[in-house]
Structure formats: structure tokens, C-alpha cells
Homo-oligomer: A and B are copies of this chain.
């Protein structure tokens, strides 16, 4: 360790830009969280720069060495060039986010899809620890996935790997369901928080209450939950047959309600495919993206 690191603390920063909130976390090299705050989101990059600078100041980190910053966004990112190719919730398209941020900071900046950062968070800090082959599925407003195979993140040829929201089957096709641009995918409509909320609304309840009623034995909600469980189980089975991960971790907002169905999903998957797999719910929850972004910096500096 060089001299100045002994005297001056070093930090890494994670910025998780969401559709409604931006979460900023700063950690020191000992892994201690020295700053954590949520801001209202913005599509104005200069406003985001201000939030980051304010966070560094408040953490007392602005005068010390910042090793780097990971920035996660809920969209498709050309990670090589730091370009946000498509981010519907903030209406960004081919936005050169890295180039826009760089003049304001003197440390390296890494832009990635937020689900990929969450997968890294789970792998190093959550339930995925030490697994070289892991699939992370995020079920929030939408549904997305991330793959860590042979110990490395697989982003795909066009940075689009993990789009299980587009999964489709023969029944969908016969019923005329299609994946169309600027809309939720066929599988995503059936299994996302948004999809579940719409069905829950017919009974005047939220998607969280849907799971609560199911756990209580309220038979009215059974068909909705059973349909969700079947769809999710089939998708996980096919992912496992194709990729043979050691573990599948389910995160995102909806996963917080899934304790009452996880055993049924495990049972289904082990009857649908012959390849064994562990299935766990996320342990680190909503901070996974920002924590994974911080971790990525530590891993890459």
C-alpha cells in the first residue's frame, strides 16, 4: 500500500439512477458506508452532477482520493463507451452519459445497466458470494436479468443480455401476444410488479397485498399468484437448462413479497428441469445496484 493511502482515505462511489429516485452510496476501502442518500430523480445531467458533488462534500470525501464512480441506469448501455442507448423512463436515447459526466470529475466513471450492477452487488455482498455461475433476476416495476458466467458478467453482443422480459411461448404466439418496442415484454407483462399491480387493482388491492392475501389463504387471489409462480418457474427452468448456473437470485421490489411462494418455485423448477440449482431471494434488497456499482469500482481499480 502506498504512503498516501495510509494517511488519506480512499473512496468509491455508486450512483443508481432510477425512474423516481437516485441513490448515492460512498464507501471507503475498508468497505464501510460513509454516505448513503436518496434524491429525486432527474433527466438533467447537470443536476445529477450537482447531487454527486454535494454527496462527496457531505461525506467529507471531496478532498481525498476517489477511486472511481459506478453509475447504473435502468436501460440498455454501451458500457465500452458509456453511452445510454435507450432509457425509456427518463427518455434518454443514445445519451453520451460518460462524456457528459467526465469533465466534472477527475476519477474513472463506469456506466452500466442497473440490473448488472445489482448482480455484482449480490455476487460480492449478498447471496451470490463466491458463485462463478449465477443468474440474477430483478422483478420490480419491470423484469430484467443479469448473467455472471465463468466468473464474468455477460452483457451480450449489443449489451442486451438478460432480457427475459421478452420470453415468449407457443401459447403467447397463438393468442397474438407480441414483443413490441417501447412497451413491456410479453413475459414482463405477466410477471412484473406493474403486471401484478394491474391484476391486484381489480380487487382494489396492491401487488404486495396480493401476496399477503395468498399467504393468508384467500382463495380469490390464488389464480393470479399461481399463474405468476408457474410463469416464473418455467422461465427459471429454461434458463437453468440453458446456462446451468449454481444459483438463481431473485431481487427487485416484488421479491420482498415472494417469501410465501419461493418454496413452490423451487419445487416446480426441480420438477421442470433435470439440472439442479439453488434459488434464493435477494438479501441486500434495493441497495444492490448502488452497492454493486461501488464494488465494481473496487474490483476494477
- A149-B149, A234-B173 known; A166 and B132 CB under 8 Å? no
A162 to B238, CA, bound (A): 10
- A157-B132, A230-B170, A238-B238 known; A147 and B272 CB under 8 Å? no
Query: When the two chains form their complex, are residues B166 and A169 in contact, meaning their CB atoms are under 8 A apart?
Result: no
Nearest-Cβ distance from residue A24 to partner chain B, whole angstroms: 30
Neighbour of A272 across the interface among B171, B179, B241, CB < 8 A: B179
Neighbour of A276 across the interface among B158, B163, B164, CB < 8 A: B158
List, in ascending order, chain B residues with CB within 8 A of A243's CB: 147, 154, 156, 161, 242
Judge if A178 is at the interface, Cβ distance under 8 Å.
yes
Judge if A213 is at the interface, Cβ distance under 8 Å.
no
List, in ascending order, chain B residues with CB within 8 A of A180's CB: 274
Nearest-Cβ distance from residue A89 to partner chain B, whole angstroms: 17
A183 to B155, CA, bound (A): 34
CB under 8 Å from chain B, chain A span 228-261: 230-231, 234, 237-239, 241-246
Judge if A133 is at the interface, Cβ distance under 8 Å.
yes
Judge if A72 is at the interface, Cβ distance under 8 Å.
no
- A166-B274, A275-B163 known; A242 and B244 CB under 8 Å? no
List, in ascending order, chain B residues with CB within 8 A of A164's CB: 241-242
Judge if A145 is at the interface, Cβ distance under 8 Å.
yes
Nearest B residue to A131 via CB reads: B157
Query: When the two chains form their complex, are residues A145 and B242 in contact, meaning their CB atoms are under 8 A apart?
Result: yes
Judge if A168 is at the interface, Cβ distance under 8 Å.
yes
Nearest-Cβ distance from residue A49 to partner chain B, whole angstroms: 31
Nearest B residue to A268 via CB reads: B173
List, in ascending order, chain B residues with CB within 8 A of A274's CB: 163, 166, 179-181, 185
Nearest-Cβ distance from residue A170 to partner chain B, whole angstroms: 6
Query: When the two chains form their complex, are residues B173 and A230 in contact, meaning their CB atoms are under 8 A apart?
Result: yes
14 of the cross-chain contacts (CB-CB < 8 Å) are A133-B156, A145-B242, A150-B154, A158-B276, A159-B244, A163-B242, A164-B241, A167-B242, A170-B230, A179-B272, A179-B273, A185-B241, A185-B274, A242-B243
Given contacts A158-B244, A163-B241, A238-B238, 4 further A-B contacts (CB under 8 A): A150-B154, A158-B275, A166-B275, A179-B273
Q: Nearest 5 A-B pairs (CB), nearest first?
A: A156-B244, A166-B241, A157-B246, A169-B169, A161-B244
